[in-house]
Amino acid sequence: MKRILLLVLVCVLAVSGCGKKTRVIDLETDVAEDADFSSADLFTITEGMINSIKANGFYQLYAAQHGGEKPVMLLAESLINKTDEHIDTRLVLEKIRTQMMKENMAQFVDDQAFDMALEQLNMQATDLYDNAKAAKLGNFVGAKYILRGSISNLRKQDGRETINYMNVTLDIFEVETLLMKWTDEVEYKRASTKGKVRR
C-alpha cells in the first residue's frame, strides 16, 4: 500500500511540473518587473496626468466660457521618445485620451481616421448612395488644442544593477495662439538588480 502511495505521489509531482501555467495579473496592482518602462508605468502616468488636468481646471474654464461645450482636442502623432527604449509612445497618449473621454472632459478629433473618412465621404457623394442620407463633405471639426509631450530617461548601469530615471512631460497647447494651457510631468527612478546566479 505504501509503495502504491509513493508511486502515486511521484507521478503527481512529475505531472505537476509539466504543462503551461496561466495567471491573470491585476493591471491596477501590477508592479514593474525591472527598471525598464513597463505596463505598470502606463497606469501611473495616465492616473497622474488625468488628476493633474482635472486639478488645472482648463477644461472646466473652457466649458464655462463656451456655453458648456467641451474643448475639441487632437493627439500628437506620438510622444517624442528621447529614451533608450523602443516604447509605443502613442499608447501613452491614447490611454490619456480614453480616460479624458470617459470622464467627459473633452472631445477628440481622430487624426488617424482622416484618410478613411475622406474616402467614405467621396464614395457617398457618388450616385451609388442616397444623397439625401449621405454624410456631407465640409463638416470636419478642427482641433483647438493639441495634446503632446516627450519621454526621456537617464540610465546608469553598474555591474548587475541598473538605475533608470524616467520623465514623461505632457502639455496641451492652443492651436490658434500657441499658448500652453496645461503641462505636467510624471517622473520616477527605479533600480533593479539581476540575480548573481542563473540557471
Partner 1 sequence: MIFFRTPSGARCGGRQAAPPAAPGHGHITPGCRHIRKILVFAVLVTAAGCSTYTSKMEISRDFYYAGEYEQAIGSLTALIKDASDNDVCLYLLERGKTRLAWGDYDSAIVDFQEAEKRVHEIEGTFSVSEFIKTSLVSAGKMEYQPESHEKILINAYLLLAYQMKGDFEGAKVERNRTVARLEQYTDALSQEDWEKLDVPFARYLAALLYEMEGLTDDARIEYDEVAKLRPEARPASENPNLTEVVVFAEMGRAPLKISREVKGYFNDTDGNLFGFFTLPGASEPMMVSGGAVSGLSMKNSGVVFSFAFPEYVRQPRIASSCRVVIDSLEAAPVKALDNIEETAMESFKKRIGMILLKSALRTYLRTLAQTKLDDKAGGLIDILGKFYSAVETADTRSWQTLPAEIGVFRMECPPGEHEVFLNYYDEGGVPAGCSRKVRFTVVEGKKEIIYFPGPS
Residues that bind partner 1 (CB under 8 A): 78, 81-86, 155, 157, 159-160, 194-199
The nearest distance, CB 112 to partner 1, in angstroms, is 17
Between 39 and 193, whose beta carbon lies closer to partner 1?
A: 193
Residue 73 three-state SS: strand
Query: Is the CB of 17 or the CB of 159 nearer to partner 1?
Result: 159
Q: CB of 3: closest distance to partner 1 in angstroms?
A: 30
Would you say how long the chain is, in residues?
Answer: 199
Are the CB atoms for 46 and 95 separated by under 8 Å? yes
Residue placing its CB nearer to partner 1 in the complex, 138 or 195: 195
Contact yes or no for 44/186 (Cβ under 8 A):
yes
Smallest distance from the beta carbon of 148 to partner 1, in angstroms?
15
Which is closer to partner 1, CB of 99 or CB of 192?
Answer: 192
Continuous H helices in 57-188: 58-65, 89-102, 114-124
Give the list of residues 6+ apart from residue 15 with CB closer than 8 angstroms, or none.
none
**How does DSSP classify residue 189?**
E
Angle in degrees, CA 184, 187, 189, rounded to 5: 175
- Minimum CB separation of residue 159 from partner 1 in Å reads 5
Q: In terms of CB distance, is 70 or 155 closer to partner 1?
A: 155
Q: Shortest CA distance to 152 belongs to which of 97, 64, 80?
A: 80
